[in-house]
Amino acid sequence: AASQRPPLTAAAKEALRSGGAIPASGSGIGGRVTLEDIAAVASGAKAAFAQGAPAGQTGTGAAASKADEYTDTPIKGIRKVIAERMMSSLATAAQFTLNASASAVRMQKLRERFKASDPAMGLSKVTVNDLILFLASRLLKDYSYMNAVKKDGVVREYKNVHLGMAVDTPRGLMVPVIRNADALSLAEISAQAKYLAGECQNGSISPDLLSGSTFTITNLGNTGIESFTPVINAPEVAILGVCGIQPKPEANGQGSYDIVPHLSFSLTIDHAVVDGAPAARFMKALCLALKDIDIWIAK
């Protein structure tokens, strides 16, 4: 701390003014010269540090310093591909993010019922991500401008929904595709999601299953993230981020508020293709669907 520094001697002050007797490398972090080093050298109590000491070394008085420890990892393979795609996405799209949340009360109750159901029904292992994949596959049919790709100055809206699903793997981010998700049941979407995630995790995913998506969902909810800015999976025009569940106040219709769990979403769009208002309408529809998810499942 500054209050613990020894007072500079007249010789040290003169060294600072004249530029003389200043060591090339000192005892500070990264070999930085401190006021104490100058004072010690000027008073003759310490020999000057070696000229041209390697950068990144720290002094420990008269003892030899130890170099900082670090590891260099070349950016190559899938990590390089991911980096290039992310930079290309940001360079070719006017990316704009909207955030919203909705009550997750019914969703949590539904999941509890699924967990207690007969495994033969294929619903006992349904996750929050599976439920969002299901809702998105249904909603995108009515919001086709979100279920689209942009390429060579043309926007192509798709009738069928091919959902990309971001998967974190030891090798890096992968986005396998659930094809024709709008025609699959919740149990089928859940099974497909688990199969694709498993193939990505063990490194045996077919390249054919990593392309052709029309809309992507990325989920960071299990990390507790409340909102983030997903990067569009080009050439798509939008990506939905699923965030964590947080307690929030909600009007109970009796003049007061209850604290209820809410699931948050972060939707990034290509503003050159999709305007904010249409994107907000999709987000609003998604939040309403989540709030009434038990009804949507029964449709």
Residues annotated as catalytic (active site), given as ranges: 271, 275
**Which tokens in the block code for residue 106?**
């019914």
Residue 239 half-sphere exposure toward CB, CA atoms < 13 A: 26
235: preceding bond cis by omega (within 30 degrees): yes
Nearest to 175 by CA among 163, 190, 188, 191: 163
Q: What is the largest CA-CA distance in the chain?
A: 87
The Cα 219–Cα 213 span in angstroms is 16
Angle at 121 between CA 118 and CA 122, to 5 degrees: 110
Helices (H), 19-94: 35-43, 77-92
The Cα 84–Cα 90 span in angstroms is 10
**Which tokens in the block code for residue 291?**
């709030």
